[in-house]
Structure formats: C-alpha cells, structure tokens
Amino acid sequence: NATVPIRVLRIVRRLKRTKDLKR
C-alpha cells in the first residue's frame, strides 16, 4: 500500500519478528 510508508512496514515487520522470537 503506497499510503503506508516503507518505514512503517519495516517497523511492523520488526515488531512481528520480535513477537515470534518472544513466543
């Protein structure tokens, strides 16, 4: 989605990765 900046996508992916690691 062009409406969402790449930085936001990167942050979201980072958060998801952290959640998976914590899981």
* Predicted local distance difference test score (pLDDT) of residue 1: 57
Calculate mean pLDDT across residues 12-18.
89
**Cα-based angle 21, 1, 19 (whole degrees, multiple of 5):** 10
Q: What is the pLDDT of residue 10?
A: 92
Where in 1-23 does DSSP place strands (E)? none
The pTM of this model reads 0.42
DSSP 8-state class, residue 14: H
**Is residue 3 scored above 60 in pLDDT?**
yes
What pLDDT was estimated at residue 11? Answer: 92
Tell me what the mean pLDDT of segment 1-23 comes to: 83
Sign of CA dihedral 2, 4, 8, 10: negative
Q: How confident is the model at residue 20 (pLDDT cuts 50, 70, 90)?
A: confident
